[in-house]
Amino acid sequence: MENKKILVTGGAGYIGSHTLVELSQASYDFVVYDNLVNSSKVAINRVANIIGKDVVFEEGDIRDSKRLVEVFTKYDIDSVIHFAGLKAVGESVEKPLYYYDNNVNGTIKLLEIMKEFNCKKIVFSSSATVYGDPKEMPVTEDMQTGQGITNPYGRSKYMIEEILKDLFISDSSWKIAILRYFNPVGAHESGNIGEDPEGVPNNLMPFISQVAVGKLEKLKVFGGDYPTKDGTGVRDYIHVVDLAEAHVKAVEFLDKNNLDKPLIVNIGTGRGYSVLEMIKAFKKVNQVKVPYDIVNRRAGDVAKIYANPKKAKELLNWEAKRDIEQMCQSSWDWQSKNPRGYSIIDE
Ligand code: NAD
Ligand code: UFG
């Protein structure tokens, strides 16, 4: 047996790859488990390059119990950071069974094998989407969840949260951290890892970057008539490196504390920016053009959501440090250095 390791499911993905860098800096050993359905081995190679050592990678699906048993047998896994999941909101509406199978059933399979190997520490990637369309702002962790979620992706996150809570009720030796991410953007300062969406991006920041780089012609701003400061949607954008750091803090917290319930924390900055503010900041910081049209609202979007991040500060001693300029600048750095993302053939 080697040293104790963290199993990072979905570690080849956008948030996972950035978290590997921070885990390595904090001297944690890890194994990445990913089926590469929405990511590339190139990201793993890039992480290895940034951290200056090999990354242990095991290809596999979280729904594949046999493969999980192999991995848990091969390594001494002490805890799991569970990023693996599908996340495209529109696709989840078209393929609900695929989403529930992958996200919910996949998580159940993972938890079963963890239990079998007496590995009972997990950090789970949840989302602000579990709050639905909250009436009060900023959002605190004790506010209602599960109501008004507009798509199967969001509901899969809510269902997994409930499953984790029930699991704890059945066996309080589990240590569970549920991190509710707000809107992750940006990239590592090296410009060598970042978000690499397949096809036309769904999310704002990659769309802006691809317009700026000339890959897409114009941004569509979804809705100019929301009851917000300038009529466009407001979100709590958080730098992905800040988000990655929160995972290190969550793992440390689970290591040090015995819990009487799952830890649930918002991971956001506490500041809301509108779509127009994001465009303006991106243009100014990067000195680029971002042509846009204001069009109809997108179905399922809320007007405004931002976090109260106080609980994360109090319990995890974590807070976001990077500002909107760093978010815009690092997104652009990654996009302009890698206009085709990871789709290169010489690595
Ligand atoms: P991502 O798609 O870049 O990463 C997810 C990774 O999981 C990918 O590498 C994918 O190949 C892998 N994966 C998917 N299904 C798998 C399976 N069945 N078995 C093994 N691996 C599988 O997404 P991300 O943005 O890095 O998101 C990571 C997690 O955070 C996801 O669970 C996502 O739902 C959640 N989250 C993301 C956001 C966001 O805006 N990016 C917001 C809130 C929550
Ligand atoms: N937007 C545009 N044009 C675009 C893309 C987005 O105007 O081309 C706007 C949206 O209307 C919204 C804001 O930019 O006001 C942010 O949109 P994103 O798609 O980047 O992010 P969302 O807040 O809609 O989505 C995020 C996560 C999802 C999650 C959802 C629900 O990416 O995983 O929050 O809270 F389900």
Query: From atom 27 of ligand 2, which residue's Cα is the shortest distance away?
Result: 183
Whether 66 is in a domain gets the answer: yes
Whether 313 is in a domain gets the answer: no
Ligand nearest to the CA of 130: 2
Q: For residue 134, is pLDDT > 80?
A: yes
Residue count of the chain: 347
Report percent pLDDT > 90 for the chain.
96
Whether 116 is in a domain gets the answer: yes
Q: Which domain holds residue 127?
A: 5-185+237-268
- Could you tell me the pTM of the whole model? 0.98
Active site residue 153: yes
pLDDT of res. 344: 64
Whether 286 is in a domain gets the answer: no
Whether 99 is in a domain gets the answer: yes
pLDDT in tens, 163-190: 999 999 999 999 999 999 999 999 999 9
* Region 131-135 average pLDDT: 95
pLDDT in tens, 315-325: 999 999 999 99
184 Cα nearest atom in ligand 2: 32
Q: For residue 229, is pLDDT > 70?
A: yes
Whether 151 is in the pocket of ligand 1, judged by its Cβ within 6 Å, is no
pLDDT of res. 343: 86
Interior/surface letters 154-164, b for 16+ CB within 10 angstroms, e for the rest: bbbbbbbbeeb
Q: Considering 14, 75, 99, 153, which one is annotated as catalytic?
A: 153
Whether 270 is in the pocket of ligand 1, judged by its Cβ within 6 Å, is no
Question: Ligand 1 centroid vs 225 CA: distance in angstroms?
Answer: 31
* Region 97-116 average pLDDT: 98
Question: Ligand 1 centroid vs 312 CA: distance in angstroms?
Answer: 22
Residues with CB under 6 A from ligand 2: 87, 89, 127-129, 153-154, 183, 202-204, 207, 219-222, 233, 235, 275, 298, 301
Ligand nearest to the CA of 268: 1
* Residues with Cβ within 8 Å of residue 276, at least 6 apart in sequence: 221, 230, 232
* Region 82-95 average pLDDT: 97
Whether 107 is in a domain gets the answer: yes
Locate 59 and state its tokens: 């290809």
pLDDT of res. 4: 84
CATH number at residue 180: 3.40.50.720
Q: For residue 227, is pLDDT > 70?
A: yes
Q: For residue 346, is pLDDT > 60?
A: no
Distances in Å between the Cα of 288 and the Cα atoms of 171, 239, 283, 334 are: 54, 20, 5, 15
Whether 148 is in a domain gets the answer: yes
When pLDDT is cut at 50, 70 and 90, the band that residue 156 belongs to is very high
* Region 137-161 average pLDDT: 97
Whether 56 is in a domain gets the answer: yes
pLDDT of res. 1: 42
Q: How many domains does the chain have?
A: 1
* Region 18-40 average pLDDT: 98
